[in-house]
């Protein structure tokens, strides 16, 4: 069985983003396979732990991928100050005699954005609304590569590495079965510092905001890279409560058209025609949404990568261009309006490097600097008595359960498969036990 089939059968999806099925990204003849080790979001330490402790496994998987898929260049992109991680990778590469290079990145946000990392490594600009494959590249996350190494040993994707930090007593990296509750993850990190708190799933810039009540029912999925516990009255909690009508009203009354949001936009700096300040000005005009969607500036909101630089780092008035762009992207999608390029040549802005946002300053403006500078070297392994595994935790169609209530399953057993003819990913049991219920989540409890 080839490596791509092993990846498909293991149910591997991108661990650091939206969860695109990994086997769909890998085809023979890739020019650049770029491994994203930038740990893009401030506070997360998951990928750093894997690079430091699982480098030989990563190199083994990359060597097989390179050979079977005839990949010309395999590059691990990692921030230059991750010196211990770089040393571990170099040692593993040397011991394996592998043809793998390391590209050291500056410490800026969002260094791990897929299109940004392609430019940093290759100097090539991915076209607006395009994918790295258009310029001969495929980008995979560090944790995804480790999962591939397990698939080579016929171990399916059933457990997740993730960081739990913020207002917890012992910030830590966990290794837990898929479907583990957030509550149990908090307990493994020593519990929360306060009775009331706010939660972000992922990083502080692009993560999904959750109220404490929402976090009570949340579980670890294939794409969970971190869980942040933050103050109940902090920046994230305050901005989460602002509705869209108020955001637009504030844009009308407070946007000073300073253009900082555009000047610092990572995609604009790659030459993409997105200009958040023009979008904010259009939203302040009072025109209807239907009218606005006919204007080029609004249509270009589809190019937003939702990194949050415009909103968290650039805007001096505390406005919400990222959230407005996200709303517009949804409306444009519903209307069937797609970005149409008027050229096939794209170049990065000549002063792009001078406008990169330093990671530490970005964390400070996001209100999380107090958690920024810490080191995690230990791993805590979870062993819950109950898991609730969602049937949809990837791009594509939800998986279809192949088990029923009362069935006994062992770790690694197939419990949900991809619908025929659809894009998706297989799902396997993450603990051994009895299937308690089957629905949007498959609940398994230990016997």
Strands (E), 11-84: 32-37, 73-79
Tell me the mean pLDDT in the region 375-386.
93
Give buried/exposed letters for 419-437 (b at 16+ CB in 10 A, else e).
eeeeebbbbbbbbebebee
Which residue in 379, 376, 381, 382 sits closest to 45, CA to CA? 376
Q: CA–CA separation, 237 vs 240, rounded Å?
A: 5
Residue (of 319, 328, 330) closest to 274 by Cα position: 328
Q: How far apart are the first and last CA of the chain?
A: 34
Specify the CATH number of the domain 158-234+367-384.
Answer: 3.10.20.600
CA 116 to chain centre: 14
Nearby residues of 389 by Cβ (< 8 Å), 6 or more positions away: 178, 179, 219, 415, 416, 427, 429, 430, 441, 442, 443, 444
Rounded to 5 degrees, what are φ and ψ at 109? -115, 135
pLDDT digits 0-9 by tens, 100-147: 999 999 999 999 999 999 999 999 999 999 999 999 999 999 999 999
163-204: pLDDT as tens digits: 999 999 999 999 999 999 999 999 999 999 999 999 999 999
User: Which distant-in-sequence residues (6+ apart) come within 8 Å of 23 by Cβ?
Assistant: 4, 5, 7, 8, 12
Minimum mean pLDDT among 7-16, 335-344, 408-417: which range?
A: 335-344
Helix (H) or strand (E) holding 52: helix 46-53
Question: Would the pLDDT of 79 be above 90?
Answer: yes
Element containing residue 177 per DSSP (H, E): strand 172-177
Please, are residues 430 and 179 in contact by the beta-carbon 8 Å criterion?
Answer: yes
Give percent helix, percent strand, percent coil of the chain, each to the nearest 5. 35, 20, 45
pLDDT digits (tens, 9 = 90+) for 268-294: 999 999 999 999 999 988 889 999 999
Residue in this structure with the two tokens 């506070």, named with its chain if needed: 43
Helix (H, G, I), strand (E, B) or coil at 306: coil
Q: Are 134 and 344 in contact (CB under 8 A)?
A: no
Domain boundaries in the chain?
A: 3-151, 158-234+367-384, 244-356, 385-447
Q: Give residue 423's pLDDT band: very low, low, confident or very high (50, 70, 90).
A: very high
CB 307 within 8 A of CB 301: no
For residue 7, the model assigns a pLDDT of 98
- CATH 3.40.50.11540 is right for the domain spanning 3-151: yes
In CATH, the architecture of 385-447 is: Beta Barrel (2.40)
């Amino acid at each position: 069985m080839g490596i791509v089939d092993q990846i498909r059968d293991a149910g591997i999806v991108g661990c650091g983003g939206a969860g695109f099925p990994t086997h769909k990204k890998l085809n023979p003849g890739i020019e650049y396979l770029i491994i994203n080790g930038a740990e893009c979001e401030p506070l997360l330490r998951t990928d750093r732990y894997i690079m430091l402790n699982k480098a030989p496994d990563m190199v083994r998987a990359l060597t097989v991928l390179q050979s079977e898929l005839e990949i010309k260049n395999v590059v691990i992109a990692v921030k230059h100050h991750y010196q211990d991680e770089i040393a571990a990778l170099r040692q593993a590469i040397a011991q394996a005699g592998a043809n793998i290079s390391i590209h050291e990145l500056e410490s800026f946000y969002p260094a791990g954005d897929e299109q940004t990392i392609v430019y940093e490594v290759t100097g090539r600009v991915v076209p607006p609304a395009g994918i790295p494959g258009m310029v001969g590249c495929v980008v995979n996350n560090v944790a995804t590569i480790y999962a591939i190494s397990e698939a080579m040993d016929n171990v399916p994707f059933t457990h997740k590495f993730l960081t739990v930090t913020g207002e917890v007593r012992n910030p830590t990296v966990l290794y837990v079965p898929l479907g583990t509750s957030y509550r149990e993850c908090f307990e493994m990190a020593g519990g929360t510092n306060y009775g009331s708190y706010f939660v972000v799933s992922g990083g502080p810039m692009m993560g999904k905001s959750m109220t404490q009540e929402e976090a009570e029912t949340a579980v670890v999925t294939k794409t969970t890279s971190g869980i942040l516990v933050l103050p109940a009255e902090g920046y994230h909690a305050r901005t989460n409560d602002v509705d869209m009508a108020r955001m637009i009203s504030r844009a009308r009354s407070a946007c000073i058209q300073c253009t900082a949001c555009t000047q610092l936009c990572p995609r604009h700096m790659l030459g993409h025609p997105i200009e958040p300040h023009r979008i904010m000005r259009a939203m302040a005009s009072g025109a209807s949404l239907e009218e606005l969607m006919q204007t080029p500036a609004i249509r270009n909101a589809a190019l937003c990568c939702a990194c949050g630089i415009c909103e968290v780092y650039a805007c001096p008035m505390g406005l919400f261009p990222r959230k407005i762009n996200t709303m517009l992207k949804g409306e444009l999608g519903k209307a069937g309006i797609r970005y149409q390029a008027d050229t096939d040549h794209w170049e990065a802005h000549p002063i792009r490097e001078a406008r990169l946002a330093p990671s530490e300053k970005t964390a400070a403006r996001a209100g999380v600097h107090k958690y920024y500078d810490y080191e995690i070297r230990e791993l805590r392994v979870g062993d819950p008595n109950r898991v609730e595994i969602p049937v949809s935790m990837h791009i594509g169609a939800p998986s279809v359960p192949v088990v029923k209530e009362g069935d006994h399953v062992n770790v690694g057993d197939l419990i949900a498969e991809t619908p025929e003819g659809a894009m998706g990913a297989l799902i396997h049991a993450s603990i051994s036990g009895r299937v308690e219920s089957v629905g949007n989540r498959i609940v398994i409890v230990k016997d």
